[in-house]
Amino acid sequence: MQKLSKLIYNKPFVYAAWFGLSFLIVLKEILNHQGFNNYTIFKYNFLHTLHQQNLYAAYPEHYYDLNHYGPIFSIIFAPFTFFPDYVGIMFWVMFNAFVLFKAIQLLPLKQNQYVIVLLICAHELMTASANVQSNPLVAGLIILSFNFINKKQDFWAALMIALGTFIKLYGIVGLAFFFFSDNKLKFIASFIFWSVVMFVLPMLISSPAFIVQSYRDWYVDLKGKNLQNEGSIMQDICVMGFFRKILNYPGLKNAVVIIPAMALFALSYLRINCFKSTPYRLLILSSALIFAVIFSSGSESPTYIIAFAGVGIWFMNLDRPVTGFEIFLLVMAIILTTLSPSDLFPRSIRETYVLPYKLKSLPCFLIWLKIVYETLSRNFAKPETRPVL
């Protein structure tokens, strides 16, 4: 047990797993001459902005599917387009991994517990990296917004939230940390300032008229995508999708699930006297990261790096010793959420049960309910005792 403890807290080992798994999976895909459709979409987001071509139209000659990212993404992705594609792909994947790594490293956890969060999330990061997704970046921005607010740096927290929102909307959940700000007027003013900057910045490589029209097109695109997601096999991996299948009720509206979920999330804020408590704040962070994914019909398997970061933070933020039920929830999440899309999981079970029943979302949903319960019942006043494991 002591040897295992030393291994999982061995930073070089964990760092190698964090970056190495993502690097190797992408290298394998490159050597197998696999196409990287997401990377191509990202690349043309920049090129289409530059040449003022509709960002949300179909371009089957270049890629399948559609672009669903905001115009600001063209600025973020621009530097990677100047490399040959395979080099740009590798840099992009490593950049995403680094942003999330740094965000987790800066968390107010004790005794280097961030190392275990990295280890818990490493396989899920690999899944996102294999799809050359931006979700690790979005997760990193949400966590960084929390870190900046925690350090009373509201101006930079607002930047992280605005950037994440204008890239992929998920970043908006960073506003959940607004109540932890000591200077709420400064935070609001900063968020308005950065939102204007995010709106205007793409105009530097395009034109004002085109960017304004692009935001209109983005709204229409997201509205249409939300309708298409419902009932999709590879998307709709969320609580609504789970209930639609379990209840055999494909017409179940998202709002029927989301509105009660938002009410539950809001209940967590009733304990105003706990707002200064670091464990309480970390619970809200975990809850926000998970909520953003499990209650979005646009969630697909690679999106779960956002939620699983919340799972890892929740587990390391638990009162010690952890209970058998809490360990069960983590193991269930590792098996169903993280391992189910991989070759380590029986294919027949994945295709017969996990995919159609959206079971990837179930452990995260149960953990989220547990987090809500903790925010309402946990004693945050008692001294924190956090042994290594």
Rounded to the nearest angstrom, the gap between the alpha carbon of residue 80 and the centroid of all alpha carbons in its chain is 21
Say if residue 354's pLDDT is above 80. yes
SS3 content of the chain, % helix, strand, coil (to 5): 70, 0, 30
Neighbours of 139 (CB within 10 A): 33
Taking only the tens place, the pLDDT of each residue in 320-353 is: 899 999 999 999 999 999 999 988 899 999 999 9
Taking only the tens place, the pLDDT of each residue in 135-155 is: 999 999 999 999 999 999 999
Taking only the tens place, the pLDDT of each residue in 170-207 is: 999 999 999 999 999 999 999 999 999 999 999 999 99
Q: Locate tokens 């990261």: which residue? A: 289
- Cis amide bond preceding 79, omega within 30: no
For the chain, the structural domain boundaries read: 2-377
Three-state secondary structure string covering 168-203: HCHHHHHHHHHHHCCCHHHHHHHHHHHHHHHHHHHH
- Identify the pLDDT of residue 388: 44
CA distance 149 to 178: 8
- Identify the pLDDT of residue 387: 44
- Rounded to a whole number of angstroms, the CA Rg of the chain reads 20
Give the residue among 142, 154, 144 at the shortest CA–CA distance from 184: 154
Model-level pTM greater than 0.85?
Answer: yes
- Identify the pLDDT of residue 178: 97
Write out the two tokens for 350. Answer: 């994945």
Give the residue among 109, 259, 272 at the shortest CA–CA distance from 179: 272
Write out the two tokens for 26. Answer: 């992408």
CA distance 74 to 43: 8
